[in-house]
Amino acid sequence: MNQPYEQSELYKLRHSAAHLMAQAITELYPGAKLAIGPPIDNGFYYDIDFVEPFKEEELVKVEQRMRELAKLNQPIERKVVANKEEARKLILTDCTHGQGEETALYKLELLEAIPGDEEVSFYDQKATDKQGKEHRFIDLCRGPHIESTGPIKHFKLMHIAGAYWRGDVKNKQLTRIYGTAFESKEELELYLHNLEEAKKRDHRVLGRELGLFMFSPRVGPGLALWLPKGAMIRDVLSDFLKQEQSRRGYQGVVTPNIASQRLYEKSGHILTYRDKMFPFMEDEEKETFILKPMNCPFHIEIYSSAMRSYRDLPVRLAEFGTVYRYEQSGELAGMLRVRGFTQDDAHLFVRPDQLLEEFKGVVDLMMVVLKKLGLNEYRVRVGTKDPSSDKYVGHEENWRLAETSIKQACDELGLEYEVSPGDAAFYGPKLDLIIKDALGREWQMGTVQVDYNLPERFDLEYTGEDSKPHRPIMIHRAPFGSLERMIGLLTEQYAGAFPFWLSPVQIAVLPIADRHVAYASAIASRLQGYPYKFVAEEEQTPFEPVEGVESAYRVHVDASRQTLGKKIRENQRQKIPYMLVVGDQDCANGTVGVRSREDGDLGAMKLDEFLGSLAGK
């Protein structure tokens, strides 16, 4: 088992690096007031109140001083003081090097916030350099730290940002300096390399460049506009999943984007989900409407619109349903966190004896989806009850059935999973898929959730074999999570070079001169599988659809009046999988000059030969 990050040596190293940075800063910038400096996921930071504004260019200087101080290999000692009074004295003297109470402002506030029964500790590091000058830094800190500053070798200061003291906008804005540190040079280099890669793959940038999606301030924050190529990817993904689902007995439904407040009162969302809902709308008859934050209550209405017998179950209702959630504007992040998005949602209404099989079916579908998308690295997390909490609804035996079914489903599918107690929703346990992308970053994507609460609230029933009413169990599931998030992830995973089946434009045909445009168009028609002969400029096309050969590729003819070199570069930039260059020779011989995104220039081949090479892609 991996040890938690918070208990690792790396975590201590980063914490000590934060202190080392603060030490360098107090030496270089007298009067700078230190606030807090913890380790974080990918490094560390320190919040500092500078006398003069601090500029990012100055990071080099701080880094240099840190290296000098690290080399002194200052021992880091933990000191526990007897009480807060003693701590106060230490802060005003040694911590601030006697610069006065003003410099100690934040530290004194932090000291005040420490509960009375808690131990108050300091970390003290000092050494004398070759010139005989003493360096010392002591900071109020809970720790833990490494034993001396020597091992802080592989670090880098990254950037600065503004941060309010205690995260409160009413307080003063401080300068937050971010840095990172690793235990080896290789790890640091890999991290920095991946950061560069991540920048190149940023889906917000690629989304614009490739014509996939965009945001506009006039439309509003977190509301994406899908451009033609992005809309095409959505269609391809949706079609793929719809096909898989209909094969598995799902039925499609369509529901509106707003609904009466009464629906969400019944579902309980008004109570539990209010802060994620857009402001309510009231009409002239004083009826209140809500912009849809969830599809579930709609599907429940559909379920309960008919008498259901045990033989009708499971009922699997699926919808690509667009929902709206009021995320804080500061938390919006490209396609990864938006205010309006489309879930590949479905709700399964099942009998208790079907729970295992249905859960298995859902997880199996998720695996099929991941494989198709080329997302082969993932982990599975099963969220169960926190045994010490009483926030959960539903009978103990139901929970037991659900938790065992989820685990058994994973076991039977040969899936490894980790159990995360306390991660269940208050209404049932769940399974999460956490995907690792090409750069090793983790993304929480699809979820399967068992629900005993909504069937109860809506009084859902089916007639059992015993002719008595029984309560179905609900499963919520979304293998993609949302189309927005999934396409955002896929854009970064593939750096915009989508696999052939998913590429919005799969083949570009590039006529060398105007006289080749008719031939290029004929080729395009053939690739698109038009059921008729294409005639352009009175010329008879040499290609006719072949009986029984199906091709419906997404093709673009680049008839722009650019030089061939320019056209090739532009289509390369668009990351189109195949370019077919056509000139005089090709027109005469019925060939195309094939350039593959992956394999480069493949030379001239007969169109049918090229078509044959696409089989199975």
- 3-state DSSP of 343-359: EEEEEEEECHHHHHHHH
Q: In angstroms, rounded to a whole number, what is the distance separating the alpha carbons of residues 375 and 436?
A: 8
Stretch that binds Zn ion, among 295-303, 348-356, 394-402, 537-545 (CB under 5 A): 295-303
Helix axes 228-247, 483-493, angle to 10 degrees: 110
Of positions 141, 315, 335, 431, contacts Zn ion by CB under 5 A: 141
Rg (CA), the chain: 31
Q: In angstroms, rounded to a whole number, what is the distance separating the alpha carbons of residues 553 and 504?
A: 10
Measured from the CB of residue 333, what is the shortest distance to Zn ion in angstroms? Answer: 23
Measured from the CB of residue 365, what is the shortest distance to Zn ion in angstroms? Answer: 16
Measured from the CB of residue 399, what is the shortest distance to Zn ion in angstroms? Answer: 19
The angle at the Cα of 69, spanning 63 to 75, to the nearest 5 degrees, equals 135
Of positions 62, 174, 232, 296, contacts Zn ion by CB under 5 A: 296
Q: Which residues, in sequence order, are bridge partners of residue 319?
A: 345
- Spatial contact of 479 and 369, defined as CB atoms under 8 Å apart: yes
Active-site position among 125, 343, 449, 506 = 343
Stretch that binds Zn ion, among 234-242, 397-405, 469-477, 605-613 (CB under 5 A): 469-477
- Cα torsion 568, 570, 573, 578 to 10°: value is -40
- 64 flagged as catalytic: no
Give which of 614, 595, 587, 575 is closest to 511, Cα–Cα: 587
Measured from the CB of residue 15, what is the shortest distance to Zn ion in angstroms? Answer: 6
Q: Total number of residues binding Zn ion (CB under 5 A)?
A: 3
Stretch that binds Zn ion, among 141-149, 269-277, 318-326, 465-473 (CB under 5 A): 141-149
* Closest CB to Zn ion among residues 345, 586: 345
- Spatial contact of 285 and 351, defined as CB atoms under 8 Å apart: no
- Spatial contact of 359 and 366, defined as CB atoms under 8 Å apart: no
- In single-letter form, the type of residue at position 59 comes to L
* Closest CB to Zn ion among residues 340, 593: 340
Q: At 8, list the tokens.
A: 């690792």
- 345 flagged as catalytic: yes
Stretch that binds Zn ion, among 53-61, 460-468, 475-483, 589-597 (CB under 5 A): 475-483
- 343 flagged as catalytic: yes
Task: Report the sign of the C-alpha dihedral through residues 27, 32, 36, 40, in that order.
Answer: negative
594 touches Zn ion (CB under 5 A): no
* Closest CB to Zn ion among residues 141, 363: 141
Active-site position among 88, 229, 325, 477 = 325
- 311 flagged as catalytic: no
Determine the 3-state secondary structure of 105 from DSSP: helix
Active-site position among 14, 316, 407, 476 = 476
| Neighbouring C-beta atoms of residue 375, cutoff 10 Å | 20
**CB within 8 Å of 19: residues ≥ 6 apart:** 37, 76, 123, 125, 137, 139, 141, 145
Measured from the CB of residue 343, what is the shortest distance to Zn ion in angstroms? Answer: 8
- 347 flagged as catalytic: yes
Measured from the CB of residue 37, what is the shortest distance to Zn ion in angstroms? Answer: 6
* Closest CB to Zn ion among residues 407, 476: 476
Give the distance from CA 512 to its chain's centroid: 42
- 299 flagged as catalytic: no
Of positions 476, 516, 526, 556, contacts Zn ion by CB under 5 A: 476
Stretch that binds Zn ion, among 281-289, 350-358, 401-409, 476-484 (CB under 5 A): 476-484
Q: Which of residues 308-327 bind Zn ion (CB under 5 A)?
A: none
Determine the 3-state secondary structure of 599 from DSSP: coil
Q: Which is it for strands 315-324 and 340-350: parallel, antiparallel or unpaired?
A: antiparallel
Measured from the CB of residue 264, what is the shortest distance to Zn ion in angstroms? Answer: 13
Residues that bind Zn ion (CB under 5 A): 141, 296, 476
Which amino acids are annotated catalytic?
296, 325, 343, 345, 347, 430, 476
